[in-house]
Structure 1
Amino acid sequence: MHATQPSPGALPAQCPETPRRRGRPRSEVAATAVLDAAYRLSATEGLRGATIQAIAAASGVSKMTIYKWWEGRLQLLIDAYMRQATLLLPLSEAMPPADAIHAHAQQYLVALHGDLGRVQLAVLAECMAETGNSEVFVARYLRMRRKLGVSVIRRGQRGGSIASQRPAEALYDQIYGTIFYRFQFGLGGLDKAFVANLVATTFSA
């Protein structure tokens, strides 16, 4: 949900929990190729096809180099997902806050029905398989995105475009948690009308 959009080749920032390993600085061009390959393979072939070996072959970057830059496949897939989510899902600072969240939630819905949704499923499956929980996904991706969305909601509450004065975190979770839950478990009724009504009712007094 970055308000200031990165250039198409920009890479997600390293999280505090995942310091960069020592060694030669990585090539941003090569790192972008790895992230793009990981995302593409996850979207088209799922976890079975998105192996480090396949990602190395598709990107032209050696497995040894990939393992120098990422701790493992899980961290790589999360970064690949985060890069695309940042590019596909801008959160406007120019629009009124309530309108910005409306637009962003609709963009998220559309993205979930495409490659981003397939990669999200793959990433969360890898989280569970590797660690038994989603803590790495939260630390490396979700916490930052949630913080940005919450800040927009708070601004709307202060300015009066969002009537509800419940905690901004609760409003954010009600909107995006509901969308995530319905998509993750394949529940019906997740369409543009549902999302529009969800945001409107969540923001009402």
Structure 2
Amino acid sequence: MAIRSEQSRQSILQATMKLLDERGPDSMSVQQLSIERIAREAGVSKTTIYRWWPSKAAVIIDTFLENHILHTTLRDDLPPVDALREHVISLAKVYSGHEGRLMAQLIAESQYDPTTLEAFKTLFWRPRREVVNRVIERAIAEGSIRDGFSPDELAERIYAPIYFQLLFREGSFDAKSIAAGFELALHGIARPSA
């Protein structure tokens, strides 16, 4: 495995983000973007990019993750339901702007490209899902969310409205609306009172 030059890596990630930034003069969609264009913008060879990433999708996902994770952390110092609520609101805030449109394009591209879908699941979806599932497991263990459902099933009920809004551009990503949606999902999965 090749040793990455951190300077080259940052140049590639910054070039990718610049090219995907719809506010820029050279903006392009995920579908339009190519490894050749990223290499030219970053001042590196295509071989350099392919040595570190297997596909265009992997470069884009790494670029996305470089910024996304910093703004959507799932805290472990809060009660689990509070941590989930805070995470859903922070995710919606990030998705209300450019990163949301980029995420929607990645999801769309993955629908007809199996390589992109697998890269998306491997690099982004599954690792984030594992973090969310651990918090849901804590909530089940403490009794704030009822048991009888898998963490995956519960996560789908909590996060699906955000991805629905992201893909269909329906509803609002403001904190109040997202918090209300979370409470609606929580009410449906909360342990029934005695």
Taking a change above 3 Å as real, the CA distance of residues 95 and 118 of structure 1, as seen in their structure-2 partners, is same
Instruction: Note if 1:31 corresponds to 2:9.
Output: yes
- Greater RCO structure (CA 8 Å; 6+ sep): 1
What is the CA RMSD across the aligned residues, in angstroms? 2.2
2:163 and 2:3 map into 1 onto residues whose CA distance is 36
Question: Does residue 83 of structure 1 match 2:71?
Answer: no
1:113 and 2:91 correspond: no
What is the aligned partner in structure 1 of residue 39 from structure 2?
Answer: 56
The answer for unaligned runs of 5 or more in structure 1 is 1-21
Q: Residue 137 of structure 2 aligns to which amino acid in structure 1?
A: R
Instruction: Deviation per CA, 1:160-184: give whole Å up to 9, x if none.
Output: 3x23323322221111122102211
Q: Percent identity?
A: 27
Q: Residue 134 of structure 1 aligns to a residue in which SS?
A: helix
Q: TM-score, normalised by structure 2?
A: 0.82
CA shift for structure 1 position 48: 5.8
Deviation at 1:35, TM superposition (A): 1.8
Letter in 1 for 2:68: A
Alpha carbons 2:109, 2:116 under 8 Å: kept: no
The question of 1:47 aligning with 2:30 is answered yes
Q: After superposition, give the CA deviation of every residue in 1:146-165 in whole Å (9 maximum; x if it has no partner).
A: 111010111122123x2332
Greater displacement, 96-105 / 27-36: 27-36
- Aligned counterpart, 2:126: 143
Find 2:82's aligned residue among 90, 96, 99.
99
In the TM superposition, structure 1's runs of 4+ consecutive aligned residues that sit over 3 Å from their partners are none
Q: What is the SS of the residue equivalent to 1:178?
A: helix
- CA distance, structure 1, for counterparts of residue 137 and residue 18 of structure 2: 35
Give the drift of 1:132. 8.2
Name the count of aligned residue pairs. 182
Instruction: For structure 2, list consecutive stretches of 5 or more residues without a partner in the other structure.
Output: none
Match of 1:72 among 55, 65, 73: 55
- Judge conservation of contact 2:94–2:100 (CA < 8 Å) in 1: yes
SS of the aligned residue for 2:157 comes to helix
